[in-house]
Amino acid sequence: MILRAKDRTIGVSDRPLVMGVVNVTPDSFFDGGKYATTDAVVRHALQLTEEGADLLDIGGESTRPGSDSIEAGEELRRLLPVVTAVAKAVTIPISVDTKKSTVARAALEAGAVIINDVTALQADAAMADLVAATGAGVVLMHMRGMPKTMQEAPSYDDVVGEVTEFFRERVMFCRERGIGQDQIVLDPGIGFGKLLVHNLTLLGQLESFAQFGRPILVGVSMKAFIGQVLGRPLEERSWGTAAAIALAVSKGAGILRVHNVRGMKEVVAMAAAITRYANASARVQHA
């Protein structure tokens, strides 16, 4: 499977890709404020690259539950120096996590090639035209509500079916706006407007989204639902993260968005190897 992102062609095949998270925010749920200067953030991005990240996802606005949106000017102030510096220092593709077209345009001009939009191109009417005009890759994420209020009693009759229909509508929207199918990545939005049962159900039925023929991005790293299952605080969710990532790989995830690249790269590689040989054996048995 191929993802086209501006002038890059990114292969997503039997070995899922690991996307390292680079937060340029004072209030992100995991590492908000940990990297307080541009130099510190750039060093962190380079470290993730050295640890084996296949892509980097750089964000300047927190989307944790309960977070407030910020103005585009502030987001650009945080984000642009980092994207510019990282793009000059690494060769792996850079994604920018934003829902604002002005921020996305500046980031693409600075060297990013993918837009990771938690609203799936719904928050800013100009974003779809930007993606179409630049040929950037785009991550379409499902979210019920907005970050400020998304965890206030979200409800679904059939979470897998509803996310499936959302993807179907968003892919059709993209095609109508001139965005190629090979530019699209789908993200079920674990933890975004979903209760524990919804998150576990989506992960357990992740293969349902293979029907779209596009890479599935999964972000479970250190999230609250892991703490709910295991009774662990934020800093003690690495093993739960590893288990969720291994399952996601076995269910067809193509891109795993993580904070700990070194450790989760090994989890992805091991899970992918087992899945690959299991699938090969099944094909032989049914031949």
Identify the structural domains of the chain with CATH numbers, from first to last: 14-285 (3.20.20.20)
If one compares 226 and 283, the residue with the highest pLDDT of the two is 226
If one compares 100 and 154, the residue with the highest pLDDT of the two is 100
What is the predicted pLDDT for the residue at 150?
64
- Integer angstrom CA distances of residue 238 from 221, 263, 264, 281: 8, 9, 9, 31
> Is the pLDDT assigned to residue 246 strictly greater than 50?
yes
Mean pLDDT of 157-185: 98
Mean pLDDT of 96-120: 97
> Is the pLDDT assigned to residue 109 strictly greater than 90?
yes
Q: How far apart are the two ends of the chain, measured CA to CA in Å? A: 23
> Is the pLDDT assigned to residue 37 strictly greater than 80?
no
Q: What is the SS3 assignment for 130?
A: helix
> Is the pLDDT assigned to residue 29 strictly greater than 50?
no
Mean pLDDT of 109-134: 97
Cβ 6 vs Cβ 115: under 8 Å: no
Cβ 251 vs Cβ 206: under 8 Å: yes
Percent of the chain at pLDDT above 70? 92
Q: How many CA atoms lie within 13 A of 225 on its CB side?
A: 22
The tokens describing 284, both together, are: 């032989």
Cβ 161 vs Cβ 189: under 8 Å: no
Largest CA distance in the chain: 58
Q: Render pLDDT for 126-165 as a digit per residue (tens, 0 to 9).
A: 999 999 999 999 999 999 877 777 678 788 999 999 999 9
Active site residue ranges: 223, 257
Q: What is the SS3 assignment for 219?
A: coil
